[in-house]
Every structure is written in structure tokens, then in C-alpha cells.
Structure 1
Amino acid sequence: MNQQYTIAGLDLPDINPEDKLNRILSSALEKTNGYLINKSTSLAHYWDANYFNLDKVQIFQDSTPAEQSSILQLCNLGILEEAYFIEKAGMGYMAKMILLAETISERMLYGLFAADEVTHFSQISSFLPTPKVSYNPFLDLLENVVESEDKTVLLFVLQVVLEGWGLTHYRSIASCCQNPHLKSILQGFLQDESRHHATGVTLLENRSLGKSSQNIVEILAMFLQMVQLGPQSVVKAVEQVKGHLSKQDKINIFAQLDTETHSGSRLKLLRNLIDLPNAKNILENLEMKGSFQPLKPSQCVSFNCS
């Protein structure tokens, strides 16, 4: 697939300061409480070690202040980059849903939702240097799902499950953010994300999942496995700064991060999101696969998530 033309648009080039459209874009963003992207040249520590449970990790505690700062910077960058690419993909997704709308009310809603995503993308972009697209299993899955032509799959996976998941995630990072400006922006996302999620739930209420069910199960099984594997990005950040970690080192870090509790609470939330009246067979299939069971630290290391 030619990445230049994907709906998600993760590889679309960043804003060029010399682009003559920027004056119009800036004016339009002002009307939505957004602003023209003015990227930060450095990255602050918006979330501290406690947020990532690094205060419980011995190798982190034994590191020099400079190493600790570098690990935290990578973890912070991970949160912001993921939000950046999710909102970037959201613009393409909402535009697609405008075309798939079956009523004028639905088309109007998705038009408004597209504007939400533009505003979120502009706001989050100002807090990090220009991100680069690198392999991320979640973003890879997201990009592939957005390309689906099955509206039922799009609604269930992206708006019911992932928007519902995102609502909790944004609430968490907003509440723990140490920068008042970014905290306020993230809190501002919540009402929009709630509306996006509720629309997906409403549109699915009287919709037969039918032949879409198996595809939904396969996609969600892949996503749930990523959650089962615990805070891989945190362990990767530690290794990136400290150098090669042995298998036992990684097991110890996952254990100290309390990965089973970390994953278990998230899997419980996702199970509740999936548990819709017309989706019992999807839930049962995922339960049969063991998709809601968190993995032990040793199992988290056994998978290659690089």
C-alpha cells in the first residue's frame, strides 16, 4: 500500500512554515480554540517517574540523575507521540465517516468531529518536536483498521472500543500532567472524546454485526494482546538508556512495574467496552482466546514487541 495515500495519513508531511495556506489555517484554528502549530524545540518532563511506576524499578533508582532524566524524556515522548499520531489518524477517519454517513444528522456530526480532531492535533503538536513515524504495533494496527471499508468494523473497533479506551487514557494523563497548560488542553479533549464514543455506541445499537463479527474478533485479539504485554514502552526506554538488558533484567523490571495489575485493570475496562448487547459472541470468542488475562512478567519478555 502506498503510505502517501492512506486514510490515516501518518506519513503526511508536517506543516511547512512557508506554506501560504498557513495564514488561512491559523485564522480558522482560532475559531475552534486551536492555533497554528508552533512546535517545541525541546521536551519537558510533563509526567514524573511515579506516573510510569519507575519509582518502583530498582535499575531506574540506581541510575544517575542524567540517566533518569533521559528515561523519563523517552517515556514522556512516547505519550505525546502516540497522541499526536492518534489525532492525526482521527482527522482522516472522521473525513471518511462523513462520506459513509447514512443520514444528514450523522454527516453533520462527523463534520464536527473532524474539526475536533484538527483542534486536538494542532494543540498536542505544539508540545513536542516533529515526531518521526517509527514502527509501533498499535499505530500499525490503527492505520490498517482505518483503511477498512466495513463501517460496522470501523464503528465497533475505533469508536466504541478505542475511543472509549482513549477517553480513560486522556483522563489519566490529564490528571497526572505537571504542566498546567498541557493539563488544561488534555482535559478539554475529554468532552469531545466522550461524544465520539457515544456516537459509535448509538449507531451500533440497532446494527447487526453479522459477518463483521469475525473480523472484529481478530482485530481486537491483536489489540488486547498488546495490552496483555504490559508497559513495553517503559522497559524499552530503560534499555535504550541503560544499554542491553538480559531477559532476567527485563523480567525483574516488569515485576517491579507490577505488570499484571497494570494490564489487568486495562483489560477489565476493555472487556466492559466490548460487552454490548449485540456483541455477546464477540466477547465470548475473545474470552475463549484468553484475551482478557494479563500475562506474567516472564511471558511479557517472551514476545518480540520491538
Structure 2
Amino acid sequence: MIKKNIAGFDLSHTKSNQLKRILDCRLNQASNSPYCHTAYWDANHFNLENATLFKNATISQQKEILRLTSQGILEEAYFIEKAGIGYMAKMVLLSETTEERMLYSLFSADETSHLAKIIPFLENIPIDTNAPFLQLLADVVESEDKSVILFVLQVVLEGWGLSHYRSLAKECCYPDLSVVFHSFLEDESRHHATGVTLFQQQSLNLSSQRAILEILTSFLEMIRVGPQRVVNAVEMVLGDLSRSQKIKLLEELDTETHSNTRLSILRSLISKQGSVFVSELEERGIFRGYPAHLCVF
């Protein structure tokens, strides 16, 4: 079996100080880490201010919950940008014109810069890629169907990334990190716009349509189940929660509103270039968030 490596999730970081110095010089950034043992987003960002378990926790427990949720956001961004480097490099090889190849070469450099800016804020370099979203991302990156990867990764996910990073930048409590996420927006907008342009030039056959539909269904199902990362962080700090405690926590996190807001954004992104998919997804009820009791497994 061929090992999947376009996303590069299994690539380790070099131990060569000389190579690191060369990279830092090329990136024009210092190698020292600004990481501090703190939360980069507050309780309001995660809707935790209304959660009884959080409010009744000690101050130190609250800080730890917020630290874990903040690191979770950064770890996900780390893997997304890491996969982006490989994806853009792959698109260099799939390019059909010189200009397209030039653009994707520049885009790969953008993703490299993004990853380098995120790493210093991580407590540790993450190695766990078992998250369902990251597994889905790795599978899509490996696809050989250009229309599928253009639509899913650049039209939908890059478009989603714009909204996501804008929110992270706006609500971040740590000015240096807020500036980092703000700096991604222009690049993400350019990547998304290029994906839209190139996707419009593709001939979408039935096989590609089915592949896109199934990938979107899997991705949107992950959004429908609400802020599972927040629930996991609370449980890691406070100990095992009963099913009823998890349901109450999700209700207090307003999980349906949380999911529906995100699903609405994604529906808009999909409908602009893939209206053919929207009716089928709506028939499946994919654009509606689950109530709290269906988000606990």
C-alpha cells in the first residue's frame, strides 16, 4: 500500500540547527518561541461563560480548560497549513499553464509562511492526527481528481478558512497572535479566488459530483455535532462526565446555534459554485445542526 504523504502529517521536524537557521533566515523570523502558558481566547469565544460546569470550576481549572481549547485551535491550524504546503506543491505538478504553476508555487510559499508563524505559539508540536476532520483532509489531498480537490479544498475549505481565521483574529486575546491570523486573510482570499476561477474551467463528470457530495456530507456532519473540542477539554480537566452532564453542557454552549451559524456560511460557499450539491444536501438534512442529545455518543 502506498503511504499517504501529500498532507505531510507524518513528517517530523528537523533536529539540524543549521537547517533551522537557514529556514529562519529565509522566513525572516527569529527562532525563539513566544509561547506562554496561557489561553489565547477567552470563555466568550467558546460560549463557556454560560456553562455551569465551567462557572463552578476553580480559577485554575477554568484557565486550564481555556488553555486546552486554545491549543486545540492552534493544533488544527498547524495541520491545515502543513497540509496546505503539500497540496499547493501537488497543484504545481497538476497545473495546465505556466501562470497556474507560478501561482501555486507562490501559494505553497504562503502556506509555508503561515505554518512558520503558527509554530511558535504551540506548546508542543502536535503529532496526533486522529481527528476526523484531519483524516478527511488528508484523504482529499491525496485525490487525483482535480475538480474534486479544487472544489473541496479551495472553494469550500479555503472560503471557510477566511471566515474562521477572521473570527480567530478578531476575538484573540493575545495581540501578537491576532496579528498572525490577520496576516493570513489576504493570502486565503487569493487562494480561494483562484480555486473558484479554476473550478469554473473544469468539466464536472458524474463520478466527481458523487465524490464531492460524499466528502461534503462527511465534513458537514462534523459541523452538525457542535463544539466537541470544548466538551473534551472540560472533561480532560474536570474528569469523566456523564451523558446527562455532556448534554447539559452542550445545551448551555448553545450547540444548535453554534452549528447552524457555521452550516449557513458553508451552505453559502457551496451554493455559489456548486448549487448542484445544495438540493441533495438539503434533502439529507445536512444543513441543520443536531440538538444536544444527538451530539453525545
Bin of the TM-score, shorter chain as denominator length: over 0.9
* Alignment correspondent of 2:261: 265
Superposed, 1:135-174 pairs within 5 Å as 135-174=130-169
Distance 1:10 1:246 in 2: 33
1:179 to 171, 174, 180: 174
Partner of 1:11, secondary structure, is: coil
Partner of 2:296, secondary structure, is: helix
Partner of 2:18, secondary structure, is: coil
TM-score for the superposition, normalised by structure 2: 0.95
* Alignment correspondent of 2:115: 121
Deviations 1:140-164 (A, max 9, x none): 1101110001110110000000000
* Alignment correspondent of 1:83: 77
* Alignment correspondent of 1:284: 279
Partner of 1:14, secondary structure, is: coil
Moved more, 50-59 or 126-135: 126-135
Moved more, 198-207 or 108-117: 198-207
Whether the 8 Å CA contact 2:256–2:289 is kept in 1: the answer is yes
Amino acid at match of 1:133: D
Distance 1:191 1:163 in 2: 11
* Alignment correspondent of 1:295: 290
Amino acid at match of 1:206: Q
Distance 1:110 1:206 in 2: 16
Whether the 8 Å CA contact 2:27–2:113 is kept in 1: the answer is yes
TM-superposed CA distance for 1:97, in Å, is 0.4
TM-superposed CA distance for 1:40, in Å, is 5.2
1:43 to 37, 43, 55: 37
- RMSD, matched Cα: 1.5
Change (3 A) 1:43 1:102: farther
Distance 2:285 2:92 in 1: 36
* Alignment correspondent of 1:218: 214
Distance 2:69 2:45 in 1: 10
Whether 1:252 aligns to 2:253 is no
Aligned length: 295
Point out where structure 2 has 5 or more consecutive residues left out of the alignment.
none
Partner of 2:121, secondary structure, is: coil
Whether the 8 Å CA contact 2:9–2:129 is kept in 1: the answer is no
Distance 2:7 2:278 in 1: 27
* Alignment correspondent of 2:88: 94
Point out where structure 1 has 5 or more consecutive residues left out of the alignment.
none
* Alignment correspondent of 2:57: 63
